[in-house]
Amino acid sequence: MHTLGSTFIPEGIHAGGLRYHGMAPLMSHIVALGLAQPRSEHQLGCFAAGLTFARVEGILPAPEANHAVKAAIDEALKCKESGESKVILFNLCGHGHFDMQAYIDYQAGNLVNTEYSSEEVAMALAGLPSVG
């Protein structure tokens, strides 16, 4: 399973949802098989994508679901630019009705993007047990 360990404490950003810093065992296996490739997104771009989705589809995504929405929009824009036709599948796992304050904070410009330094990540990874 991919994880940064139980001692890693991420920033309290909205787009991180529950700020889970690992990957589920099934998803870890899918990534290990090369069937999916994880990517990270900054929260400001995620909120922008979530609002775009809400305007087009009438569903306000939960902040953590905005990561998938952003990736799907990015892939659709790549296809539009290249002229390639693809099926783009993503999972919208929750609505944002309980996260209105996060959207208000985003629209007011009160949210910022954060970046973890490679030193922070290396330190978290160094504390993990070695498993084979």
The whole model's pTM is what? 0.78
Alpha carbons 68 and 49: distance in angstroms, whole number? 9
Domain spans in the chain, listed from the N-terminal domain onward: 40-113
Backbone φ and ψ for 61, nearest 5 degrees, come out as: -70, 155
Alpha carbons 44 and 47: distance in angstroms, whole number? 5
pLDDT grade for 7, boundaries at 50, 70 and 90: confident
Taking only the tens place, the pLDDT of each residue in 39-97 is 888 889 999 999 999 999 999 999 989 989 999 999 999 999 999 999 999 989 888 88
Smallest Cα–Cα separation from 41: which of 18, 72, 12, 62?
A: 72
